[in-house]
Amino acid sequence: MKAIPIDTYPQDMANAFINGITFVNEVRVNDARQLAVLMKNACFMEFSSGETLLTAGKAGRRYSFLLKGQLAVYADEDTGGPAINQITPGQSFGGLSIICKTRRTATIAVSSSCKSALILSIDMAGLGELNDYSVYTLQTKLALYRAIVNNTRWQLELYKMDYPTHPLTLRGRSIDIFIGARNTEQELASLDRQAHQLLEMIVEWNQALMAQQVEGEMGGTWL
């Protein structure tokens, strides 16, 4: 792993990468000072083929965005078997466990088909408790929580499309939807509840897909 300070990266390329991240752009529009706080705690990171970025079961506080390359997702710390998912440029990872204050739910490594991967990684150590605005304002927290919740909702929809007959798809478990006033603490509290609900579902899917791999090796399947 190679950490690269943002101010040492070619400026045009750095700006292009950062400007392509919706969460960062929303913070920029809301409050330039908050953007400065984020960027102070951010850096580019380059990883080699096969190198692990996150490990299931371990704590972490970095929220990351894949800029170049491809990442493989594994349900546990073993990266020797087949991946249960892939992460492509434009996607984020690591956020759900941060806002839910849990250990990482999966292991992420650079795909063997890639020579390297480049990410933007933000240290969210200053996030604090839900209603702690000493470092990040309510608007910044709302932007963060929306980004993470929306990204996770989309991932679950992809699982459902890929496995339409899976019991978890057929069960049709629903996630809360906020219908109150936006940009309020009530919205933040709702997003926090949604994140915890989504975390439970992601863990179930990861475990089910890992079990599917084992059953597949043994000749069984639920597809």
Angle between helices 32-40 and 22-30 (to 10 degrees): 130
**What is the DSSP annotation of 55-103?**
-TT----EEEEEEES-EEEESSS--SS--SEEE-TT-EESHHHHHTT--
Instruction: Tell me if residue 212 falls in helix, strand or coil.
Output: helix
The pLDDT of residue 195 is above 60: yes
Tell me which residue of 39, 92, 85, 84 sits closest to 65, measured CA to CA: 92
Cα separation of 91 and 64, whole Å?
9
pLDDT of residue 214: 58
Model confidence band, residue 212 (pLDDT cutoffs 50, 70, 90): confident
> For 144-174, how does the pLDDT look when each residue is reduced to its tens digit (9 = 90+)?
999 999 999 999 999 999 999 999 998 877 8
Enumerate the domain spans of the chain: 2-217
The distance from CA 113 to its chain's CA centroid, rounded to whole angstroms, is 21
pLDDT of residue 216: 56
pLDDT of residue 217: 44
CATH number of 2-217: 2.60.120.10
Cα-based torsion angle of the residue sequence 151, 152, 155, 156 in order, rounded to the nearest 10 degrees: -140
Residue 86's DSSP bridge partners are 72
CA atoms within 13 A on the CB side of 183: 3
Cα separation of 27 and 4, whole Å?
22
The pLDDT of residue 220 is above 50: no
Least confident of 61-70, 162-171, 188-197, 208-217: 208-217
> Which pTM value belongs to this model?
0.91
Give me the mean pLDDT over the 167-192 stretch. 92
Return the structure tokens found at 8.
């040492």
The pLDDT of residue 79 is above 70: yes
Return mean pLDDT, the chain: 92
Quick one: residue 29, left, alpha or beta (phi over 0 = left, psi -120 to 50 = alpha)? alpha
> For 39-67, how does the pLDDT look when each residue is reduced to its tens digit (9 = 90+)?
999 999 999 999 999 999 999 999 999 99
pLDDT of residue 173: 74
